[in-house]
Structure formats: C-alpha cells, structure tokens
Amino acid sequence: MKRTAYRLEDIVRRFGGQLHGDGDVIISQIATLDSAQAHQIAFLANSKYRAQLETTQAGALILGAADADETSIPRIVCANPYAYFAKLSAFLNPQPQAQAGIHASAVIGEGAVIHSGVQIDANVVIGEGAQIGANSIIMAGCNIGARTLIGENALLYPRVVVYHDCVLGNNLIAHSGVVIGADGFGFAMEEGRWLKIPQIGRVVIGNDVEIGANTTIDRGALDDTVIEDDVKLDNQIQIAHNVRIGAHTAIAGCVGIAGSASIGKYCRIGGSAGILGHLQIADYVEVSSFTLVGKSIKERGSYCGIYPFSSTQNWRKNAAQVRHLDELADRVKQLEQQLEILKK
C-alpha cells in the first residue's frame, strides 16, 4: 500500500502540541522507539523508558513536557503523548471505509432495511426486518438475526453472529467470531430433568462499543442484557444474561461475568478475572487479572485476589499449609492464652 506522508509541522497544525526542532521532517507512519525509521514518528508515554531516546532512529517524537529536552530529534511536546499518538495513528491508519454495495451471494431477508452507503460482503445473511445503519460494513459470512437493529458506521469483521431482536448502536466494532444474543444459561430442574427457560430478553448495546474476537454476549432471560456507550471488550469474554456494563468500562480478555451482575462506569477489569452473578460493582473500580469478585464492591478503588506462584517445590510446602490455616490460627490463639497464664 502506498502511504500518504505529512510534514511534522502540518501534523502539529492539525493535532496541536508544541513543535520543537525541524518541522519539515516527513512522517508517514507511527512506530515504536526501538523500530522506528527516518519517516516514522515514535512516542514516549512513560519517562521510565527515557533511555530509549538515545538510540532511537525515529524521524520525530511525541513527548510530554518532562522529556522535551532529553533529545534533539524533531518532536511534538504535548500533555498526553499516548492520546496524541492514538489520534495521529488513527489519522495515518484510517479504519476501512464502506464501499457501498451488496455482494451477489448475500441473502437479505424480507423487509430488511439496508441504509445508504452500506457494504455487505459475500455470504452475509440478514434476517427479516433487520436494519443496517448508514455506512456500516458487514464483512463476509456475518449473520444478522431477524428484526435486529445495527446503527451507523458499524464495522463487523467476518463471521460475526448477532441473533434476532437485538439493538446495536453506532460505531460498533465487532471482531470475528463474536456471538451476540445467544440464549442465556437458564434451566429449571423438575423430576430429575432440566426444563429450558426461553431467553426472551434482548442484547442492547450503546454507541462506540468495541467487542473482541470470539467474545460472547448472551441475550436476557426476561429483561435485557445491556452494554452502555464506549465500553471496550477484549477477546474471549463471556457476558451472561442480564448483565449490565456501565459506560466507558474496559474489560480485558477471557473475563467471565455471571448472570445479572451489574458493573459500573469507568471500571477496568483485568484479564481472566471473574465476577459472580447478581453482584453490583461501583463506578471507577479496578479489578486485577485472575481475581474472582465474589461479593459486591461498593467503593471505587483497586481490588485484587491474585495468589503467588513459585517453584513447584516451594509451592508444595506453602500451598499445603493453606489446608491447615484454620488449625494454625487456633494454635496461635492457644499459644497466646498460655503465654498470658505464664506471664501471670
């Protein structure tokens, strides 16, 4: 692909920041400090890695004020180098734009409404009465259920499945293998057999949501499963029926969220964490990777439940003691009592 190139000065004019050094440097791409070459711009988001400034071959840099004088390479000095990098990279590497048209092999259900500028690729199936918002891209092999509504500027990568009667907002990005609206896990036991409980709620997703590859979001049992605006979900996350995830919350890969849990706004959940059903998590809560949240969290803050690993040899000794912790605590209590008697 031929890349468009920009003068550093023009970049500053467009995105702000202070220009230090030669504004005529030509920039066509972003790269890391380690790998950047003459026509690439790199960034330093953390002064801890400042030493890399000495060896980088980058043509230009994005820096915070604290690092502005640590190099003579042409540079943009700004308040939030990471956000600056994000915006500049999005400019240099724009998302795919819809090429309006419906591939001959696509199957469009009766009464479906395909708005203007929509791109529908090979082997896509759109259910009866579904709607696809303007300028959306539905890539090959996606399957959109009956009466499901998808907003504008959505980008569905190949083989996304959305079941019937769901509502998805504008600017959605859903990666391959995502399944939205499958049945929640609901059964009643009667006379030794399971009875299936029909899952008649929907999945309702706000605007500006991104959903990673092979993530699953189940439809509600009776009421809806709700993902609010600007939520970012990584790969292989499982979201059970009737979960609610507050706006701007970001969840890392492999997290499991059990039924009817409610997560606040601006939360950050680490990879492979779990959240039990029917819990409430406040806004601005951070949960570490691999942590099971087993009760509601009412205060914002950082929470953790990671237990240490070690060499298998050491682990055997320590983990075995966990089985005797209650007994150990009892023994300490008895020692304290006996010592009190002795002291008297």
Neighbours of 61 (CB within 10 A): 26
Residue 121: helix, strand or coil by DSSP?
Answer: coil
Which residue, 51 or 325, is less far from a second copy as judged by CB? 325
Which residue, 54 or 329, is less far from a second copy as judged by CB? 329
Which residue, 69 or 327, is less far from a second copy as judged by CB? 327
Of the listed 241, 248, 278, 324, which one is catalytic? 241
CA 126, 132, 137: angle at the middle one, nearest 5?
Answer: 90
Q: How far is the CB of 53 from a second copy (least distance, A)?
A: 17
CA 294, 299, 301: angle at the middle one, nearest 5?
Answer: 90
Which residue, 22 or 57, is less far from a second copy as judged by CB? 57
- Give the span between the Cα atoms of 152 and 138, in whole angstroms: 11
Strand partners, 30: 41
Q: How far is the CB of 74 from a second copy (least distance, A)?
A: 19
Burial 144-160 (b: 16+ CB within 10 A, else e): bbbbbbbbbbbbbbbbb
Q: How far is the CB of 229 from a second copy (least distance, A)?
A: 9
Q: How far is the CB of 274 from a second copy (least distance, A)?
A: 5
Q: Which residue has the tokens 């949240």?
A: 293
Burial 178-192 (b: 16+ CB within 10 A, else e): bbbbbebebeeeeee
Q: How far is the CB of 167 from a second copy (least distance, A)?
A: 16
- Give the span between the Cα atoms of 123 and 336, in whole angstroms: 74
Is 103 labeled as catalytic in the residue annotation? no
Q: How far is the CB of 153 from a second copy (least distance, A)?
A: 13
- Phi/psi of residue 317, nearest 5 degrees: -70, -45
Q: Are 239 and 221 in contact (CB under 8 A)?
A: no
Which residue, 44 or 240, is less far from a second copy as judged by CB? 240
- In the sheet where 292-293 sits, what is the strand order? 107-108, 125-126, 143-144, 161-162, 179-182, 216-218, 238-239, 256-257, 274-275, 292-293
Query: Assign residue 60 a region: left if phi > 0, alpha if psi is -120 to 50, beta otherwise?
Result: beta
Q: How far is the CB of 69 from a second copy (least distance, A)?
A: 24
Which residue, 24 or 34, is less far from a second copy as judged by CB? 34
Which residue, 118 or 180, is less far from a second copy as judged by CB? 180
Tokens of 132: 């696809």
Catalytic residue ranges = 241
